[in-house]
Amino acid sequence: MRIPLIYKRIGNFLGSLLLSLCCFFGAYQALTLSSYDIDQINNYSGKVIEAGIMNKNNSVAGRGSFKSDIFFIKIQGLNQILATYNSSNSYSYFEENIKVGDEITVYYLESKDTIKPNLNLFQIEKNYKIILNTKEFQNKEILGGLIGFFGGIILLGLGLYQDKKYWGKNEK
């Protein structure tokens, strides 16, 4: 059975449109997250009961997965596991400055899932010293948003480029 060309073209266009919309939606979420002010998010002060580096499994399209290291903090009385990701996987600064028993203040967005690490950790303060700055988190989100935005444009452009070879031709 042969699929008519018009259905192939429609399928290619809709697939391209759907994937680009996913990229645009992800970019919108990342850019929205980067625009939060520290006064608009939750903060909590408490004693660190556990801190360290853990592996986080990330799935890719349900087919495969890769592991990345994250630095996590559990605070007494808080039902969230807060975490931060560093692309260089260098967490020695956090390990030196955050120890079990330390009193810290964290600024974060609440997560519904209390079992998985919450990566929406904006800022960490200890004795009025900023250990994790809000600007670092916001810069990571802006970069992710821009990558998603340009990825969406590229996918949409590829879909139109693929269809361009049929423009102006008479279909049968």
* Residue 138: CB atoms within 10 Å: 18
Predicted confidence at residue 3, as pLDDT, reads 82
> pLDDT by residue (tens digit) across 75-100?
999 999 999 988 777 888 888 999 99
Nearest partner of 159 among 23, 20, 24, judged by Cα: 20
Predicted confidence at residue 38, as pLDDT, reads 87
Predicted confidence at residue 44, as pLDDT, reads 94
Determine the topology of domain 39-132 in CATH.
OB fold (Dihydrolipoamide Acetyltransferase, E2P) (2.40.50)
Contact 82, 105 (CB under 8 A): no
Spans of the chain, pLDDT less than 50: none
3-state class (DSSP) for residue 115: coil
The structural domains of the chain, with segments of one domain joined by +, span 5-34+144-164, 39-132
Contact 119, 83 (CB under 8 A): yes
Contact 100, 51 (CB under 8 A): yes
Predicted confidence at residue 171, as pLDDT, reads 53
Contact 130, 124 (CB under 8 A): yes
